[in-house]
Amino acid sequence: MVDDVVIAAASGRLAAYNLSTGGPVLVWGLDAMAVTFVSPHSLHARPLVVPRGLELVVRNETHNLAVKAIADGMPIGELDEGREARVRLGAQRGLLALLPEMTFFHRYRETFAS
């Protein structure tokens, strides 16, 4: 059981939220999604990296309480007790413009060096 689940691709606003909640770093262009558990109620709940082609099932097991489903900061629905949502990477892939002198690892070092 967890309070929230963050599911994010390698770039974009949710990638930053994924990092701020202790999730894994995804290299730009990685064809996968990160799954990070917020305030897990167990030491066994660890962040995951799920590749394209696998579907993630999120189930509400909270008794007598609906949970909100939010996509990119916008509410998209609710899951009543026992209901589930299936999440996967979409068919359309985004493009990310990169400068040749600014690799992912260079940018990562600049951002996170202390």
Residue 12 makes CB contacts below 8 A (sequence gap 6+) with 72, 94
pLDDT of residue 50: 94
pLDDT of residue 56: 92
List per-residue pLDDT tens for the chain, 114 residues long.
788 888 888 877 778 888 888 899 888 888 899 999 988 888 888 999 999 999 999 999 989 999 988 887 788 899 999 999 999 988 887 777 777 787 878 888 888 886
Size of the chain in residues: 114
pTM of the shown model: 0.78
pLDDT of residue 114: 65
Residue 52 makes CB contacts below 8 A (sequence gap 6+) with 31, 32, 88, 89
